[in-house]
Amino acid sequence: HCIRFNDRSTSCQFCAIGQSLAAGKTIARKRPQQLAEVAKAAVELDGVKHMVMTTGTPQTPDRGAAIL
């Protein structure tokens, strides 16, 4: 989970990672194949041309760079 999420003084004010996880609307780690499947569907079904993908900041020495 994101190291900034529980501290409202440092967390992104628009972040909903915790709420999405708690509600069962997302999973903590997505595989590249899952992201590709969703991106492909967004383009084919909805004509999406731009997408923004964000991440939390895990408490690892590289702050998640290895996963990206």
**pLDDT tens digits for 46-55?**
999 999 888 8
Q: How far apart, in Å, do the first and last CA atoms of the chain sit?
A: 15
The parent domain of residue 47 ranges over 1-68
Close Cβ partners of 21 (under 8 Å, ≥ 6 residues apart): 1, 27, 28
Residues of the chain falling short of pLDDT 50: none
- Tally of domains in the chain: 1
- Predicted pLDDT at 3: 82
- Predicted pLDDT at 42: 97
- Predicted pLDDT at 38: 95
